[in-house]
């Protein structure tokens, strides 16, 4: 096995994070790095095992293995980091049946068929917070679950965020929460805000020096 030197890995990560973020069609390839002598397994058979309006369950057979590997394939997600004119983060609180609990999250949602990720991000921001953005800056994509789920989350930073002129009611069961950067840091530390994908989006913003979250002492 060829081991990629640490310094070379860091340079590659930096080159990916520093690419032109205005082009959302370019995928992050940090997670797709392979060693030069890797032997890639072959997907020898594919089938759709189950279909719902929100996701498919796919069968993939690797190297003619008769036992299928099952993959859940939802639509891609869009997640938005947004602050109001006072610099407070806009978060949403909602009930999640999968967890049987209320959660605090970034505004996020599925990218509808035929939508671009940015159009979806703008729509979700309005629907879940009643705010619109002058601009959406693409931060990057992250894989949602490497072991079982085949989709990506597209991460955006909203700027020039203001309430819409004639706001419609927020999505059913959604409560808007505003918090300072320090309050957000505290909610992350004590697991009130513990959505791993949201934390990944925030980390992208911090690493690109576009989001400021204080270190709690």
Across 56-70, 135-149, 192-206, least confident range = 56-70
CATH number where 157 lies: 3.90.79.10
Is 10 within a domain? no
**The pLDDT of residue 165:** 75
Exposed / middle / buried, residue 91 (Cβ in 10 Å: 0-12, 13-18, 19+): buried
Q: Is the pLDDT of residue 67 over 60?
A: yes
Is 139 within a domain? yes
Contact 198, 96 (CB under 8 A): no
- pLDDT digits 0-9 by tens, 179-203: 999 999 999 999 999 999 999 999 9
User: Which of residues 29 and 207 earns the better pLDDT score?
Assistant: 207
Is 153 within a domain? yes
Exposed / middle / buried, residue 72 (Cβ in 10 Å: 0-12, 13-18, 19+): middle
Contact 93, 178 (CB under 8 A): no
**The pLDDT of residue 122:** 97
- pLDDT digits 0-9 by tens, 156-175: 999 999 999 766 677 778 99
- Over range 52-64, report the average pLDDT: 91
- Over range 47-68, report the average pLDDT: 91
- pLDDT digits 0-9 by tens, 83-96: 999 999 999 999 99
Is 55 within a domain? no
Is 51 within a domain? no
Is 43 within a domain? no
**Sign, CA torsion 28/32/34/39:** negative
Is 81 within a domain? yes
Confidence of residue 34 (pLDDT cuts 50, 70, 90): low
Give the percent of the chain with pLDDT over 70: 82
C-alpha span between 202 and 139 (Å, rounded) = 10
**The pLDDT of residue 138:** 98
The residue range of the domain holding 150 is: 76-207
Q: Is the model's pTM score more than 0.95?
A: no
Domain count, the chain: 1
- Over range 205-211, report the average pLDDT: 97
Is 99 within a domain? yes
Mean pLDDT of the chain: 86
């Amino acid at each position: 096995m060829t081991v990629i030197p640490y310094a070379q890995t860091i340079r590659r990560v930096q080159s990916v994070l520093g690419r032109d973020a205005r082009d959302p069609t370019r995928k992050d390839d940090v997670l797709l790095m392979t060693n030069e002598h890797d032997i890639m397994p072959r997907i020898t058979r594919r089938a759709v095992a189950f279909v719902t309006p929100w996701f498919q369950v796919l069968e993939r057979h690797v190297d003619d293995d008769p036992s299928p590997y099952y993959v859940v394939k939802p639509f891609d997600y869009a997640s938005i980091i947004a602050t109001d004119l006072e610099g407070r983060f806009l978060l949403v609180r909602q009930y999640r049946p999968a967890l049987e609990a209320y959660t605090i999250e970034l505004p996020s949602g599925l990218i509808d068929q035929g939508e671009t990720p940015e159009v979806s991000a703008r729509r979700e921001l309005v629907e879940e917070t009643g705010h619109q953005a002058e601009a959406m800056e693409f931060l990057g994509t992250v894989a949602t679950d490497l072991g079982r789920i085949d989709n990506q989350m597209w991460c955006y930073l909203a700027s020039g965020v203001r309430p819409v002129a004639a706001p419609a009611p927020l999505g059913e069961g959604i409560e808007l929460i505003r918090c300072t950067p320090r309050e957000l840091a505290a909610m992350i530390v004590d697991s009130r805000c513990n959505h791993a994908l949201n934390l990944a989006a925030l980390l992208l913003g911090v690493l690109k020096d576009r989001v400021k979250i204080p270190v709690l002492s």
